[in-house]
Amino acid sequence: MVEHSLGKGKAVGSIPTSGLKTMAKKKKNILKFECTVCKNINYWKKASKKTKKGLELKKFCKKCKKHTIHKAK
């Protein structure tokens, strides 16, 4: 992809470095939900300004095989 836009002579590597910085920033906006029974992380949610870290949801845990409360980390 880089070689097409810059040409083969100007391309230094095949992996563009500009995308790596934006990927690191996106990981900060993700909440991980952990099962309160088995402590397994089963669900992820994109965080917004209104969502809090102490959010609790009742979700299905694949390891416990039942609906349990999942807390956001």
pLDDT of residue 60 exceeding 60: yes
Q: How far is CA 10 from CA 2, 20, 36, 64, 70, in A?
A: 9, 20, 53, 54, 50
Mean pLDDT of all residues in the chain?
A: 77
Asked whether 64 and 35 are in contact (CB, 8 A), the reply is yes
Asked whether 30 and 48 are in contact (CB, 8 A), the reply is no
Gyration radius from the chain CA atoms: 20
pLDDT of residue 57 exceeding 60: yes
Model pLDDT for residues 63-72, shown as the tens digit of each residue: 999 999 999 9
Domain range annotation of the chain: 2-72
Q: 29 falls in which pLDDT band (50, 70, 90)? A: confident
Q: CB-side exposure of 46: number of CA atoms within 13 Å? A: 2
* pTM reported for the whole predicted model: 0.56
